[in-house]
Amino acid sequence: MRDTSGSTRDDVALIRAAANSFIEALRPGDRVGVLAFNTAQTIKERVATVEVLSRLTSDRENLRQSIENLGASNGTPYYDALERVVDSVFRDPPVDDVRGRRAVVALTDGVDSASNSDFATARVKLSRAGVACYFVQINTEDFVEDRLMKDCQDDGQLSLSQKQIERYRRLFVPAAKAEDFNNFCRMGPFERMSISRDLYNLARKEMNDLARVSGGRSFVAGTLADARAAFARVAADIGTLYSLGYYPTNKSRDGKFRTIKLEVKGVKEKAQIRARDGYYAPKQ
């Protein structure tokens, strides 16, 4: 999954290079799908959408062509994209000859501006599907803040979307009146900056949390070299898998979440464990 929204569109060429380096680091049998943010024209306006550029495939040339077709969008439907991974890319159960680890690898700043979904819904869907989440976090905060401070008439100005502002109000100041948060251009520069910083901190917290509970990892990439190194480590991580099984004492088929805790004993040095924090029991 690649973030090509307004906050990252100036780096699309770098994103393509980083994505291709990930493809090159994979094993021959690994299958990959490519999702990106794009812009669609509706009757009323242009809206940010999630586009599946390539279904799961091991055809490297097909994947490189899909990456070459990466465009730019006018928003970030990040949560919608995480759901799309489950609903579209991993919709069908794996067949016997390609069983392996299911993972989403996202190059993004993690700040959602256009989704109809929310983080909690996407998190549950990914957990139910057993998808490990890896994030290569790019920092666009300075770029965005600089443009948020501009006057609404300035060509270089960016604005917080109404969905972002409403999410901020709901999560950070739920007692505030909705009408006090319905016009970005009437907000002062310090209010804009405060909202932006809170949303960026929230995004980083969500990515780190999702990586931890799914058994994935999160990396910070300040440069293309950092992104390439992170992708190489992700590719190596995905290709290294230990499968553990057990018989649960709780036999109820109620669809509820079961917590798992793994511990490593008998090693001299402290071992780092990356694993899912649980699973959903089957239903009747």
6-53 pLDDT tens trace: 445 556 777 788 888 888 888 888 889 999 888 776 666 677 888 889
pLDDT band at 110 (very low <50, low <70, confident <90, very high): very high
State pLDDT tens for residues 234-248.
Answer: 888 887 767 777 788
pLDDT given for residue 10 in this prediction: 52
pLDDT given for residue 132 in this prediction: 93
- Identify which has the larger pLDDT, 92 or 203: 203
pLDDT band at 206 (very low <50, low <70, confident <90, very high): very high
pLDDT given for residue 5 in this prediction: 54
pLDDT given for residue 16 in this prediction: 82
Contact in structure between 89 and 81 (CB atoms under 8 Å): no
The stretch 143-158 carries a mean pLDDT of 87
Sketch out the chain's domains with CATH numbers.
Answer: 9-243 (3.40.50.410)
Q: Percentage of the chain surpassing pLDDT 90?
A: 35
Pick from 76-80, 120-124, 272-276: least confident: 272-276
The stretch 260-280 carries a mean pLDDT of 75
pLDDT given for residue 214 in this prediction: 92
Over 80: is that where the pLDDT of 215 sits?
A: yes
pLDDT given for residue 156 in this prediction: 79
Average pLDDT of the chain, as a whole number: 85
pLDDT given for residue 98 in this prediction: 56
Over 60: is that where the pLDDT of 232 sits?
A: yes
pLDDT band at 119 (very low <50, low <70, confident <90, very high): very high
- Identify which has the larger pLDDT, 210 or 255: 210
> How big is the chain, counted in residues?
284
